[in-house]
């Protein structure tokens, strides 16, 4: 049986939330690139079989599309902030990851290039949940599965000049993200009282200096909310269109399954999977190690291997003793 061929421009993006899974399949050979879209609810997030059933149904509604798959998610309680790592070598990046893990308890990072600059996004979220979802997506039949933070996926589709976006993904699941070409910071928020799915974007000029030293999740969310207040006060233009690489995404009506407010995050994940947004690196998750006496600075240990007394140092042979040994024969035992 001939296996379908995939190329640049082919990719699948999924937005995984606590209540629903949305998906978009892109085909580089089709006008507008959009091949299909889907949305399926999750009956019970705690049941792996229910989650797997939803993922299989999404894959079927996407027409069993082939290609790399990226899963975008940002569970409640997640935050993200960026660190400038321009010019750092691979070993230096590994040292930084280890330091972040030890001092901030963050084990997930992703590198993003922005022209001559390079940023490391440190993501604080439930890693066990993320790994579980990734494994279930693979079991559902999707190929080359990788994970994306939802704010990163959304930023790929926002038009140039966007500085802030609010995404209402599902009931009790939403996030705000500050953007300056690439995501600067993001935090999950409470979405009670707002309609889902939804998307709000603005282009109010903001200063990102206030985010440079923020690492505490409470401070990050508070600063992001201040930016939201600026956008609301300025009443910026709400007319915006999503982009899929170099193609403008059509403004489908709200009730359409392909609507931008519905598929914005899944579209961004598909753009990344299809290779339409520059060099895309998978998220790095380092293993967390705990010790009884706290974190260790060096990865070695001291262990006693023997209880025998040390050997006595032999006396050196003098020239006189050597001469006597040659003249006087040794007695045989």
Distance in angstroms (rounded) separating the CA atoms of residues 136 and 50: 10
What is the gyration radius of the CA atoms in the chain, in angstroms?
Answer: 28
Distance in angstroms (rounded) separating the CA atoms of residues 6 and 30: 13
- pTM for the predicted model, two decimal places: 0.82
Please give the tally of structural domains in the chain: 1
- Residue 259 in tokens: 């609507």
Pick the range with the lowest mean pLDDT from 80-94, 186-200, 227-241.
227-241
According to the model, what pLDDT value does residue 332 have? 54
Mean pLDDT across 100-115: 92
Distance in angstroms (rounded) separating the CA atoms of residues 132 and 73: 12
Q: How many residues does the chain have?
A: 333
- The verdict on residue 182 lying in a domain is yes
According to the model, what pLDDT value does residue 302 have? 60
Which residue range(s) make up the domain with 22? 11-281
- The verdict on residue 17 lying in a domain is yes
- The verdict on residue 238 lying in a domain is yes
Mean pLDDT across 1-8: 54
- Residue 250 in tokens: 């059509």
Work out the percent of the chain whose per-residue pLDDT is above 70.
88
According to the model, what pLDDT value does residue 41 have? 96
Mean pLDDT across 8-30: 91
According to the model, what pLDDT value does residue 286 have? 74
According to the model, what pLDDT value does residue 2 have? 46
- The verdict on residue 188 lying in a domain is yes
Residue 331: other Cβ atoms inside 10 A: 5
The DSSP secondary-structure symbol of 283 reads P
Q: Is the pLDDT of residue 306 over 80?
A: no
According to the model, what pLDDT value does residue 279 have? 72
CB-CB contact of 146 with 71 (8 Å): yes
Question: Which phi-psi region, left, alpha or beta, contains residue 67 (left: φ > 0; alpha: ψ -120 to 50)?
Answer: left
- The verdict on residue 252 lying in a domain is yes
């Amino acid at each position: 049986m001939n296996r379908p061929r995939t190329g640049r421009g082919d990719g699948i993006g999924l937005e995984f939330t606590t209540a629903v899974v949305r998906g978009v399949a892109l085909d580089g050979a089709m006008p507008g690139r959009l091949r299909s879209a889907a949305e399926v609810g999750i009956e019970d997030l705690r049941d792996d079989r229910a989650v797997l059933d939803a993922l299989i149904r999404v894959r079927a509604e996407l027409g069993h599309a082939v290609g790399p798959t990226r899963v975008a998610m940002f569970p409640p309680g997640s935050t993200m902030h960026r660190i400038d790592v321009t010019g750092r070598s691979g070993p230096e990046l590994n040292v930084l990851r280890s330091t972040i893990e030890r001092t901030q308890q963050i084990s997930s990072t992703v590198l993003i290039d922005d022209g001559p600059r390079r940023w490391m996004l440190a993501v604080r979220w439930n890693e066990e949940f993320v790994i579980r979802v990734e494994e279930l997506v693979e079991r559902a039949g999707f190929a080359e599965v990788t994970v994306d933070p939802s704010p990163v996926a959304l930023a790929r589709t926002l038009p140039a000049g966007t500085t802030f976006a609010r995404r209402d993904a599902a009931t009790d699941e939403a996030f705000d993200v500050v953007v300056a070409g690439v995501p600067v910071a993001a935090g999950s928020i409470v979405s009670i009282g707002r309609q889902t799915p939804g998307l709000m974007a603005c282009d109010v000029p903001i200063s990102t200096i206030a985010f440079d030293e923020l690492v505490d999740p409470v401070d990050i969310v508070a600063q992001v909310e201040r930016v939201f207040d600026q956008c609301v006060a300025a009443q910026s233009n709400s007319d915006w269109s999503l982009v899929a690489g170099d193609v403008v995404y059509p403004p489908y009506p709200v009730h359409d399954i392909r609507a931008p407010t519905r598929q914005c995050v899944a579209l961004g994940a598909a753009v990344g999977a299809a290779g339409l947004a520059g060099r895309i690196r998978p998220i790095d998750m380092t293993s967390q190690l705990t010790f009884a006496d706290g974190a260790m600075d060096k990865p070695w240990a001291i262990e006693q291997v023997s209880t025998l007394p040390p050997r006595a140092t032999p006396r050196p042979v003098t020239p006189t003793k050597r001469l006597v040994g040659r003249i006087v024969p040794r007695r045989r035992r």
